[in-house]
Amino acid sequence: MSERKFVPQAELDRQFSICDQLKKEIEPRGLTFYVETFGCQMNVRDSETIKGILTNIGYGEAPDKEHADLILYNTCCVREHAEKRLMGNIGALKELKEANPGLIIGVCGCMMQQEGVAKKLLRRFPHVNLVFGTHVLHRLPEMLAHVFAGDRLAMTGEEDFAIAEGLPQLRDNPRSAFVNITFGCNNFCTYCIVPYVRGRERSRDPEAIRAEVAALCASGVTEITLLGQNVNSYANDLESGSFAELLSLLNDVPGLKRLRFMSSHPKDLNDDVIRAIRETDKVCHHVHLPVQSGSNAILRRMNRRYTREQYLEIIRKLREAVPDIEFTTDIIVGFPGETEEMFHETLSLVEEVGFAAAFTFAYSPRNGTPAARMEDQIPEDSKKRRLYELNDLQAQKTVENNQKYIGYTGELLVEGCDDRGTETMLYGKYQNFKMVYFPGDPSLLNRYVNVRVLRAERNSLIGEQIHG
């Protein structure tokens, strides 16, 4: 069991007192921030903490970067060419800085944890004031104090994987919130950069998670999504507890209506978790279960540590325990060494499972990962063709999946609205993640309504509100 580290309360208090000092200067000047987030829910969640800290320092939120006194890019290194795109975005800020020399420009996020990137960025862009990694978010007040004193700095804290509890948050959505349960990852899938930039897996204490969920629900949040790179291995680094126990612990938090989680790793989704999903009434009947490939040979090369057969067995057990459960997944095609036959094993798995939706990718190498150094990389045109074939099959499966909802009525949490010329279409999800569009008034936003599905279109369900 690895030793977890926490940021000491004295250090957090020191940061809070710097906040108080900065606030005296910043609040009277009416300064504003703009945070732009790239990448996954982890980054979205980190940005909420960043915004919370900036609000405590006295900043208000600007509507766009043109009106901001502080611009922060929260970066992601998981996608291909992310670094190149980021450099372009930062270069483009030079004009804003020339127009407003007092503008503070910062760059943070997991890309800054990649070796050498932070220093390179500071060297290349003199208009950037501040660069920092994911592990030192809690030191943002101190970093800004240095920037106000005229310094330019890069802080990544490569070895410092301590958990910081009790940081302020600024969340946009009044009904739905993400809550971290683990940070980092121990799995080292051979294509993935995450364990190198986010560090080894660290679980939060169950009491701290429950307290955060309870506080959110007391403020009106009703839907919580638990976040981790592999939520199923939650508590592997604690003396006791498990992900299944955490689900049960959170299930009776007053005010909570929906409990979601992502992502799951098939190697750790065990019978206890299946039982917890079945026996709790708040845990939603949806599992995002990345399969990545239907070929055992490729799964081995990816270091996924489960087989196609084991994956299908989990799906079977979950369907048996929870009949209305829906599955979504992630799939990579064209991984090094993938033959046509292996690719067809992926297609046959997609056919067999019938995912509600799949996030599909053509493999692209990430510097620093073992797969990037593998021989037998697949030519781009083959990858593209396979991706096209896979998407075509998944589109058929999505239509089939949608068809079975025609005539179904269920409770929907309204998440947004689209103005479609003559009518406004609201959209939201059933508890099992199926999205439905229906005509309605925007005042229903963030409320629960009953909706019956009238028809299935290629990618979406169309319904009507049922009153009473």
242 or 264: CB nearest ligand SF4 = 264
Q: Find the shortest distance in angstroms from Cβ 185 to ligand SF4.
A: 3
Rg of the chain (C-alpha set): 23
Q: Find the shortest distance in angstroms from Cβ 172 to ligand SF4.
A: 25
Q: Decide the pairing of beta strands 60-61 and 286-288.
A: unpaired
| 360 is a site residue for ligand SF4 (CB under 6 A) | no
Binding ligand SF4 by CB under 6 A: which of 168, 195, 370, 439? Answer: 195
Q: Find the shortest distance in angstroms from Cβ 1 to ligand SF4.
A: 19
Asked if 42 and 227 count as a contact pair (C-beta separation under 8 A), the reply is yes
| 298 is a site residue for ligand SF4 (CB under 6 A) | no
Q: Find the shortest distance in angstroms from Cβ 230 to ligand SF4.
A: 5
Please list the helix, strand and coil fractions of the chain in percent, rounded to the nearest 5, in that order: 40, 20, 35
420 forms beta bridges with 423
User: Which stretch in 190-198, 313-321, 351-359, 419-427 sits in contact with ligand SF4 by CB under 6 A?
Assistant: 190-198
Query: Distances in Å between the alpha carbon of 345 and those of 191, 267, 291, 340, 354?
Result: 20, 19, 12, 9, 14
Q: Find the shortest distance in angstroms from Cβ 225 to ligand SF4.
A: 16
| 181 is a site residue for ligand SF4 (CB under 6 A) | no
Residue 425 is encoded by which pair of tokens? Answer: 């279409």
Q: What is the DSSP string of 316-331?
A: HHHHHH-TT-EEEEEE
Asked if 390 and 338 count as a contact pair (C-beta separation under 8 A), the reply is no
At residue 183, what is the residue type?
A: F
Asked if 302 and 190 count as a contact pair (C-beta separation under 8 A), the reply is yes
User: Which stretch in 90-98, 139-147, 183-191, 241-249 sits in contact with ligand SF4 by CB under 6 A?
Assistant: 183-191
| 42 is a site residue for ligand SF4 (CB under 6 A) | no
Binding ligand SF4 by CB under 6 A: which of 47, 187, 232, 264? Answer: 187
Residue with tokens 């039982």, as numbered in its chain: 275
**Cα distance between residue 342 and residue 200, in whole Å:** 31
Tell me the number of residues near ligand SF4 by CB under 6 A: 10
User: Which stretch in 185-193, 216-224, 420-428, 448-456 sits in contact with ligand SF4 by CB under 6 A?
Assistant: 185-193
Q: Decide the pairing of beta strands 326-333 and 357-362.
A: parallel
| 188 is a site residue for ligand SF4 (CB under 6 A) | yes
| 232 is a site residue for ligand SF4 (CB under 6 A) | no
15 or 360: CB nearest ligand SF4 = 360
Q: Which of residues 211-230 bind ligand SF4 (CB under 6 A)?
A: 229-230
Residues that bind ligand SF4 (CB under 6 A): 185, 187-189, 192, 194-195, 229-230, 265
